[in-house]
Amino acid sequence: MKPRFLSYTTRLLTKPFKVAIVGTGPGGFYTAHHLLNKSSPDVKLNIDFFEKLPTPYGLSRYGVAPDHPEVKNCEDHMINIMKDFGNSESRHKVRFLGNVEVGKDIALKELEGNYNSIVLAYGCTSADNKFSIPGADLPGVVPARQFVNWYNGHPDYYGENKYIPPPLDKVDTVSIIGNGNVALDVARILLADPREHWAKTDISVDAQQLLEKSTVKHVRIVARRGVLESAFSNKEIRELLELPAKFVP
């Protein structure tokens, strides 16, 4: 008769270790990558991705500027994970469950009862921060997150609750509050030639059409600190300086 602890250990090692990863952006996929490649040889992993959108990739798809395909290369790595571990022959198993919002379609408690471990990797999904200043709620004042999701074709900004972008075809000046990478992305979106620059990217059709009718001539970037304290990267400012636009300090 086998010692009880050996019998228990054998059952434990042959039973798959089930992991739920909530969110399918880079954080979720790289978590899966390290689990799959660094787990003990005698452990079988069953990893389920839960995503509230119908498609994966998170901010690498909906947060990166359309003219930065090199940043989106991580999607190829994510696709390989699904190809390598999404078939019945692999030791580890990976599944993608889209259109499933944890907390709405399925309770977190339910996941706790069906998985050995849960990783919350749903990222930046909180409400936009609003300025407590006069005029912050006026028409035409929009959070950068909404504008970025719109020009990247985020599913939440189309369909029944379609996002109404600012009237870029009726104004000549836009002010951007902040001077990080997203601020410079938005400035480049507004100033670059839509036909020569954006038509060859994966920018949303709605954004392309509105930018072609845009009357914006002046973009003001407003920041609380000086140039030396700016949060943007060298790459972002270099791309902005390469545009055929006049820069006035």
**Is the confidence at residue 77, as pLDDT, over 90?**
no
What is the domain count for the chain? Answer: 2
pLDDT at 47 over 90: yes
Is the domain of 151 the same as that of 219? yes
130-174: per-residue pLDDT in tens? Answer: 778 888 888 889 989 899 999 999 988 877 777 888 899 999 999
pLDDT of residue 44: 93
Taking 70 as the threshold, does the pLDDT of residue 179 lie above it? Answer: yes
Predicted confidence band at 207 (pLDDT cuts at 50, 70, 90)?
A: very high
- The pLDDT of 223-239, averaged and rounded, is 88
Inter-residue contact 165 to 190 (CB < 8 Å): no
Asked whether 61 and 152 are in contact (CB, 8 A), the reply is yes
pLDDT of 8 above 70: no
Q: What is the mean pLDDT of residues 210-219?
A: 96
Residues 103 and 199 in one domain: no
pLDDT at residue 3 greater than cutoff 50: no
Q: Which domain holds residue 109?
A: 4-120
For the entire predicted model, the pTM comes to 0.83
Could you tell me the CATH number of the domain that includes residue 175? 3.50.50.60
Contact 223, 184 (CB under 8 A): no
- Report d(CA 32, CA 85) in Å as an integer: 11
Residue 129 has pLDDT above 80, yes or no: no
Residue 208 reports pLDDT greater than 70: yes
128 in a structural domain: no
* The residue type at 114: N
Which of 58, 88, 120 delimits the end of a domain?
Answer: 120
Query: Is a pLDDT exceeding 90 seen at residue 13?
Result: no
Q: Residue 31: is its pLDDT beyond 70? A: yes
66, with CB counted inside 10 A (0-12, 13-18, 19+), is buried
CB contact at 8 A, 26 and 60: yes
Residues 6+ apart with CB under 8 A from 16: 44, 45, 46, 93
Mean of pLDDT over the chain:
88
Residue 39 in domain = yes
**What average pLDDT does range 111-140 have in this prediction?**
86
Tell whether 88 and 21 lie within a shared domain: yes
SS3 assignment, position 171 = coil
238 band by pLDDT with thresholds 50, 70 and 90: very high
Percent of the chain beyond pLDDT 90? 57
Share of the chain above pLDDT 70, in %: 93
Question: Does a structural domain hold residue 131?
Answer: no
Report if residue 134 sits inside a domain: no
With respect to residue 160, please indicate whether it lies within any of the assigned structural domains: yes
Same domain, 115 and 149: no
Q: Residue range 35-63: average pLDDT? A: 92
Residues 20 and 110 in one domain: yes
Alpha-carbon span 78 to 58, nearest angstrom: 11
8 A C-beta contact, residue 178 and residue 210: no
Q: Is the pLDDT of residue 60 over 70?
A: yes
Assess whether 104 and 18 both reside in one domain.
Answer: yes
pLDDT of residue 10: 45
Q: In this structure, are 19 and 90 located in the same domain?
A: yes
What is the pLDDT at residue 194? 94
CB-neighbour burial class of residue 20 (10 A; exposed 0-12, middle 13-18, buried 19+): buried
Residue-level pLDDT at 125: 65
